[in-house]
Amino acid sequence: MLIKKPGDIRYSEVTPKAVYFDRRKFLAALPAAFLAGRELLSPSARAGAAGKFPTLAKSPFSTTEKENSLTDVAHYNNFYEFGTAKDEPFQLARNFKTYPWTVSVEGEVAKPRKFSIDEILKLAPLEERIYRHRCVEAWSIVVPWAGYSLSALLAQVQPTPKARFVAFQSYYNPSEMPAAQHAGIEFPYVEGLRLDEAMHPLALLCVGMYGDALPPQDGAPVRMILPWKYGFKSIKSIVKIRLVEKMPPNTWNTMQPMEYGFYSNVNPNVDHPRWTQSSERRLGELRRRPTLMFNGYADQVASLYTGMDLKKNF
C-alpha cells in the first residue's frame, strides 16, 4: 500500500479495489495515525466504518447458490442518479453523504413518524439474506444482503384499513447528483408495492451487504430488496415511505409503460418488448442460464398473485 502524504490522497487511490470495498480488511491494515485522519474517508465510508455488523442471524430464506464477489456487485450498478453507465455509480457516488439520514413513514397510518438511520438499524434483529437478484436487463447477482423484513418497520406505524399500497421515494438532490440530469428519467426515483407484497416476509428492508454497511452505489444507507421482482423495483437510498389507497406511480412505468409494468415480477414467459426474459447472465459468468418464474421464489410468493393474468399485469 502506498501512503505518502495522507493530505493529498483519496481513500480510493491508496488501496486496490478489492481492499477498498472490504472495509474490515482495509481498516485492519491501516496504521493508527492514518485512522485518526478519518477525514480522508468519504462521509459514507466514515459512517460505515463505525457501523459494520458483527453478528448477523442466518436467514432461512437464503439461497445456497454461489455468491458473487463484493467487487463485482459494487462495480456494476444501476443507480441513475449517479450516471447510467454500470461503472459510473461506483465513482460518482463516492462522496454521497448517507449519514445522518432520516426516513419518513407516513400516509394511511395511525402513527406516522420519522426514523433516523440509527433507529432503523435497531428496530429488528439484522439478518443475512443471500438472495438472487435479477435486473430487467437480464443480468443477475447473488448477494448476502443485511436487513430485516419491511413488515417490521410497517408494524411500527400501524397501517390503517385504507392503506392498500406502499409508495417509496428515493433521495434526490441535483447538486449532489449532477449526472442525474442526463439520465433521461425523472427524479426523485419512486416505486410502489401492493400492501400484501410489502408485508411479505421476503420483502427486505436492506441496510447492508457482505457483513457491512451498504456502499453508496448500492443504495446506502437503506433500500429495498425484492428478490422475486426485477431489480428496478428495489429502490435505493429511501427517504420516504407512504401508505396509500391507490396504486402509486413507479418511475420506469411512468417513463415507458409498454416496457415496464407496476408488478414487474420476474417472469420468463413474458418478454420485454426489446429482448427475451427467458434467460439471464449471472455477473462474472459467460453462459446464460434459464430464468425461473418469480426468480425461483414461486413457492413463497406465487399465492400473492392467484387469479391474476400475469401477462396483463406484467
Q: Which does 263 bind (CB under 5 to 8 A by kind): ligand MTE, Mo ion, none?
A: none
Binding of residue 145 to ligand MTE (CB under 6 A): no
Residue 12 in grid coordinates: 480510493
Binding of residue 79 to ligand MTE (CB under 6 A): yes
Nearer to ligand MTE, 42 or 170 (CB): 170
Residue 309 contacts residue 267 (beta carbons within 8 Å) = no
Binding of residue 232 to Mo ion (CB under 5 A): yes
State the minimum distance, in angstroms, from the CB of residue 300 to Mo ion: 21
Which own/partner contact pairs does 85-93 have at CB distance under 8 Å and 24+ positions apart? Answer: 88/179, 89/216, 89/217, 90/215, 90/217, 92/177, 92/179, 93/215, 93/216, 93/217
Task: Tell me how many helices (H) and strands (E) the chain has.
Answer: 11, 13
State the minimum distance, in angstroms, from the CB of residue 148 to Mo ion: 23
Nearer to ligand MTE, 30 or 70 (CB): 70
Burial group, residue 45, by CB count within 10 angstroms (0-12, 13-18, 19+): buried
Nearer to ligand MTE, 14 or 47 (CB): 47
The correct pick among 20, 68, 81, 103 for binding ligand MTE (CB under 6 A) is 81
Q: How many residues does the structure list for the chain? A: 314
Q: Which stretch binds ligand MTE (CB under 6 A): 22-30, 92-100, 198-206, 230-238?
A: 230-238
State the minimum distance, in angstroms, from the CB of residue 108 to ligand MTE: 23
The correct pick among 42, 59, 71, 77 for binding ligand MTE (CB under 6 A) is 77
| x/- map, 67-96, Mo ion, by CB under 5 A | -----------x------------------
Residue 288 in grid coordinates: 446464460
Using the 8-state DSSP alphabet, how is residue 67 labeled?
A: P
State the minimum distance, in angstroms, from the CB of residue 83 to ligand MTE: 10
State the minimum distance, in angstroms, from the CB of residue 18 to Mo ion: 24
Task: Give which of 111, 299, 300, 104 is closest to 199, Cα–Cα.
Answer: 300
| x/- map, 235-254, ligand MTE, by CB under 6 A | xxx-----------------
Which residues have CB under 8 Å from 70's CB, separation 6+?
Answer: 18, 21, 22, 209, 210
Q: Which residue is nearest to ligand MTE (CB)?
A: 231
Q: Which does 218 bind (CB under 5 to 8 A by kind): ligand MTE, Mo ion, none?
A: ligand MTE
Binding of residue 78 to ligand MTE (CB under 6 A): yes
Task: Give the DSSP letter string of 189-254.
Answer: -EEEEEHHHHHSTT-EEEEEETTEEPPGGGT-S-EEE-TTBBGGGS--SEEEEEEESSPPP-HHHH
Binding-site ranges for ligand MTE (CB under 6 A): 77-81, 135, 170, 189, 218-219, 231-232, 234-237
